[in-house]
């Protein structure tokens, strides 16, 4: 699969992030050090690279589903947003939501990044919004069945 080029600088000993399978939307991101997370504890973990997200795009960092389902470890901020102007190391704020201590060895794939285009908006202050069928009905307004 041919994609858009994205410049990446690696920290010492880090490996280039990669897609696990052809056609995957997200490439896996690995921690650069061993991490031990006590129950309900969190740690900001370096992922070993900085990058140039293409202009007009954003890098969205998502938890890996298996890490959460099997170990109770996810991203503390749920989704990370990496803007195209950011040039620092990409990091992951991991949190252990399980009742057990979790050990993740260096090189563990803990999250994934999806690079997507976005539409910038010109925000306009108005007195009111147009009416819709939904209106202001929010959380749970459509039920669960």
Does residue 135 lie within any of the structural domains?
Answer: no
Question: Is 17 part of any domain?
Answer: yes
What per-residue confidence (pLDDT) applies to 1? 53
pTM summary value? 0.90
* pLDDT value, residue 84: 97
> How many independent structural domains does the chain possess?
1
Residue-range definition of the domain harbouring residue 113: 8-117
Mean pLDDT of the chain: 95
Residue 26 falls within a domain, yes or no?
yes
Cα distances (angstroms) measured from residue 43 to each of 37, 69, 74, 86: 7, 19, 11, 21
Classified as helix, coil or strand, 68 is helix
CA pair distance 127, 124, nearest whole angstrom: 10
- How many whole angstroms separate alpha carbon 110 and alpha carbon 120? 30
Q: Is the pLDDT of residue 26 over 70?
A: yes
Would 143 be classed as within a structural domain? no
CATH number for 76: 2.70.40.10
Q: What is the average pLDDT across 129-144?
A: 88
- Count the helices and strands in the chain (H runs, E runs): 1, 11
The verdict on residue 97 lying in a domain is yes
Distance CA 104, CA 21 (A): 22
* pLDDT tens track for 85-112: 999 999 999 999 999 999 999 999 999 9
The model's pLDDT over 27-70, given as tens digits with 9 standing for 90+, comes to 999 999 999 999 999 999 999 999 999 999 999 999 999 999 99
């Amino acid at each position: 699969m041919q994609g858009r080029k994205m410049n990446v600088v690696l920290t010492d000993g880090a490996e280039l992030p990669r897609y696990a399978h052809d056609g995957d939307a997200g490439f896996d991101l690995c921690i650069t050090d061993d991490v031990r997370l006590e129950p309900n504890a969190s740690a900001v973990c370096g992922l070993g690279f900085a990058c140039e997200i293409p202009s007009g795009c954003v890098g969205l960092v998502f938890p890996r589903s298996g890490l959460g389902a099997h170990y109770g470890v996810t991203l503390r901020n749920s989704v990370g947003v990496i803007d195209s102007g950011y040039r620092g190391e990409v990091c992951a704020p991991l949190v252990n939501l399980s009742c057990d201590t979790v050990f993740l060895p260096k090189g563990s794939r803990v999250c994934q990044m999806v690079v997507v285009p976005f539409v910038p908006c010109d925000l306009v202050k108005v007195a009111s919004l147009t009416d819709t069928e939904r209106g202001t009905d929010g959380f749970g307004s459509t039920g669960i069945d």
